C-alpha cells in the first residue's frame, strides 16, 4: 500500500482555467480526476486530496479520500506525510510548493509536480 497526497490548492492553481471563480468546483473536478489513481498497475494506492479555504467541505468519493484542513493545507499535508513515514508507508506528495516539499521530504515522502495528476489517465506514469 502506498499513499498519494495531493495539495489541491497548489494543483488547481497550476492551470489558469478560471478556477478562482469557483474554487470548490475546481476541487471537485480535481477529486473526480484522481479516481483512476487508486489502482496503479496492481499496486494499492490510497489517494488523499487535501483541501482548504473555500474548498473545505468537498466530500470524499470511492477511491479518493478528501481531507478538509482546519487551517493550513500545508500543515495537514505535512502531518499526513509524517504519519505515513512513521507507519513505513511509501508516500508521494503532489505539489510545486518548495517549502512544503522540503517539509514532507524530511518525513521520507517523495514529491511530484502538479502535471503528474493533470495528465489524461492514459498518459499517467
pLDDT tens for 18-32 read 888 889 999 999 999
Residue 125, pLDDT score: 46
Q: Which three cell numbers stand for residue 74?
A: 500545508
How much is the average pLDDT of 57-79? 95
How much is the average pLDDT of 30-37? 89
- Give the closest residue to 66 by CA, choosing from 101, 75, 77, 13: 77
How much is the average pLDDT of 68-89? 96
Residue 48 CA to residue 106 CA, distance in Å, equals 19
- pTM for this model (two decimals): 0.90
Residue 52, pLDDT score: 95
Question: In sequence order, what are the beta bridge partners of 4?
Answer: 47, 92
Residues 95 and 13: beta-carbon distance below 8 Å: no
Residues 74 and 97: beta-carbon distance below 8 Å: yes
pLDDT over threshold 90, residue 42:
no
Amino acid at each position: 500500500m502506498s499513499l498519494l497526497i495531493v495539495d489541491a490548492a497548489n494543483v488547481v492553481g497550476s492551470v489558469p482555467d478560471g478556477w478562482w471563480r469557483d474554487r470548490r468546483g475546481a476541487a471537485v473536478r480535481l477529486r473526480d480526476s484522481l479516481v483512476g489513481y487508486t489502482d496503479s498497475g496492481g499496486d494499492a494506492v490510497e489517494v488523499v486530496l487535501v483541501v482548504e479555504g473555500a474548498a473545505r467541505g468537498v466530500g470524499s468519493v470511492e477511491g479518493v479520500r478528501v481531507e478538509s484542513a482546519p487551517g493550513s493545507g500545508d500543515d495537514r499535508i505535512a502531518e499526513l506525510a509524517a504519519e505515513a513515514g512513521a507507519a513505513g508507508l511509501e508516500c508521494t506528495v503532489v505539489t510545486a510548493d518548495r517549502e512544503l516539499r522540503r517539509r514532507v521530504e524530511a518525513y521520507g515522502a517523495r514529491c511530484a509536480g502538479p502535471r503528474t495528476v493533470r495528465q489524461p489517465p492514459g498518459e499517467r506514469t
